[in-house]
Amino acid sequence: MKVAILFVAIAAFVAVGNVSAKVLINRHAPPPEVARNPRAKSPVLYSISMPVDHFNSADTRQWSMRYYGNDQHFVSGGPIFIYLGGEWTISPGSLMGGQIYDMAAEHGGYLLYTEHRYYGYSYPTNDFTTANLKYLSVEQALADLAAFIRGLKNNPIFIDSKVVVVGGSYSATMATWARSKYPDLIDAAYASSAPLLALDDYKQYFEVVGLNIQLESPECWDVISEGTTRMNELYQTDAGITELSSLINSCKRLKSYFPYKDHFFNQIANLFAGTVQYAQPGQIKAECQKMLNKSGDSLAKLAAYVRDTYGGCIGDYEDLLYWYAQTGLSESSYRTWFYQTCSEFGFFQTGNSTEQPFGVNWFSTVSHSMCADAFGSQFNKENILASIDNTNRNWGALKPNVTKVISIHGSVDPWHAIGLLEDLHEEAPAILVPGYSHCADLSSISSSDSEAMRNAKQTAKDLIAKWIS
């Protein structure tokens, strides 16, 4: 399986004088690309016009939403399987293998993959200024999907077709909410690793990261914990800050005050989060061993691992803000995803817990600061918290009003902590698969699957078959 590790830690460079500062972009991620079926037909790229604002009839502006289609298995009247794009660029390979491809083959279905507004190359506006980002919302994106399905249904070959939406990560959240919002258009949903609880202080994220590190290598946990404690001690004096700046190869001397210190410790933790979120069996232990093989005490080992993993001098809060402040059109989506977290979800991963090895050194306040600096002073703590409450109120948080939705999570995935882990009822089951990471269930059933994973995948296929019969 080809794995794209994007979410928690995306590396980006920004020029600082004559050097390149490396920063980690905190954002969500596309699911791992599944192995392609060698007999799969290549999808075709299309586009369809959409309103910029679905909820203002006086605004007649349109934009082009991209989508891929694959009719390899389709028979007239067969079901439509729509893989929902999230905060990434859609790619044809996602319709050439995995669970969605297998279900289409079994049921004579038509495969589609839609690109979410403001991501990839689907741009409703001519820039990403804060004023234009107001059209980036769950409601607008779901309205795009509804309009897309209505357009499909105008084609005689689709009039009797059932519609199944499939999503991974944020797009799995969208799949769940789409079934809730438009049950007349969508007959069933398959949600892989869907975070459903919007929240400000997502401390559970790094608790799960820490737990899986401890399970794989208690010594690794100890070195991270002791090394982080030593770093925090160095932060208490000017001489210590100078020493730490050299140890971790920061591009500029570290600053001891908010939000710079908070950001620093968040960056350290994110290096490990990126490994855990998409870990294959044995990968966490192997990555830990790289650090444990370094020479010196815990501080030296951790600092050496940080230097080697970054592969360049380490940027600070201002360098990360540089990326979030870019308003030009770009498929990178650094700014657009961060806007969604500031305006609707929160999802701010914090160190506000002693149940992880990265130190209680940063809180959601650093994200509040970044939101205001990137998008304007209106994105303050009060408004961010109100937006998060509004999201949970609108969509039901961990008790969404849904039927015919299956939710699957992996226990290694840090996002499972805010996902649906218990059955809501018979037509809204939830499965937690031990030992697996983010969106691992989207691949085809394989002999390498554990019994639990194989059963989860088969259950998803059986339920979708039942719901569209």
Annotate 412-434 with three-state secondary structure. CCHHHHHCCCCCCECCECEEEEC
70 pLDDT above the threshold of 80: yes
pLDDT at 312: 84
> What is the mean predicted confidence (pLDDT) over 100-107?
98
Let me know if the fold of 44-192+398-467 is the same as that of 200-389.
no
4 pLDDT above the threshold of 50: no
Euclidean distance between CA atoms 381 and 93, whole angstroms? 40
> What is the mean predicted confidence (pLDDT) over 417-426?
97
pLDDT at 310: 87
> What is the mean predicted confidence (pLDDT) over 151-164?
96
pLDDT at 31: 76
In this prediction, residue 25 has a pLDDT band, given cuts at 50, 70 and 90, of low
User: Helix H segments across 85-167?
Assistant: 98-107, 138-153
The pair phi, psi for residue 46, each rounded to 5°, is -130, 175
pLDDT at 328: 95
Which CATH homologous superfamily contains domain 44-192+398-467? Alpha/Beta hydrolase fold, catalytic domain (3.40.50.1820)
115-138 pLDDT, tens per residue?
999 999 999 999 999 999 999 999
Using a 10 angstrom Cβ sphere, with 0-12 exposed, 13-18 middle and 19 or more buried, the burial of residue 446 is exposed
pLDDT at 23: 73
Residue 308 burial (CB count, 10 A): 12
User: pTM (2 decimals)?
Assistant: 0.95
Using a 10 angstrom Cβ sphere, with 0-12 exposed, 13-18 middle and 19 or more buried, the burial of residue 248 is buried
Which residues, at least 6 apart from 460, have a Cβ–Cβ distance to it below 8 Å? Answer: 99, 190, 406, 408, 441
> What is the mean predicted confidence (pLDDT) over 324-331?
91
pLDDT at 374: 98
21 pLDDT above the threshold of 80: no
20 pLDDT above the threshold of 90: no
In this prediction, residue 7 has a pLDDT band, given cuts at 50, 70 and 90, of very low
Q: Which helix (H) or strand (E) holds 234?
A: helix 218-234
pLDDT at 188: 98
**Residue type, position 226, single letter:** E
Which residues, at least 6 apart from 350, have a Cβ–Cβ distance to it below 8 Å? Answer: 201, 202, 203, 205, 206, 362, 363, 364
> What is the mean predicted confidence (pLDDT) over 145-173?
97
pLDDT at 346: 98
Longest C-alpha distance within the chain, in Å? 74
Q: Where are the domains of the chain?
A: 44-192+398-467, 200-389
Q: Which residue has the tokens 């997502």?
A: 202
In this prediction, residue 10 has a pLDDT band, given cuts at 50, 70 and 90, of low
In this prediction, residue 6 has a pLDDT band, given cuts at 50, 70 and 90, of very low
267-285 pLDDT, tens per residue?
999 999 989 999 988 999 9
> What is the mean predicted confidence (pLDDT) over 405-418?
97
pLDDT at 3: 30
Q: What is the mean pLDDT of the chain?
A: 94
- 200-389: what fold? Four Helix Bundle (Hemerythrin (Met), subunit A) (1.20.120)
Nearest 10 degrees: Cα torsion 401, 425, 169, 277: 140
193 vs 21, higher pLDDT = 193
pLDDT at 320: 94
pLDDT at 207: 98
Tell whether omega for the bond before 31 is within 30 degrees of 0, i.e. cis: no
455 pLDDT above the threshold of 80: yes
pLDDT at 191: 98
Lowest mean pLDDT among 34-38, 226-230, 253-257: 34-38
8 pLDDT above the threshold of 50: no
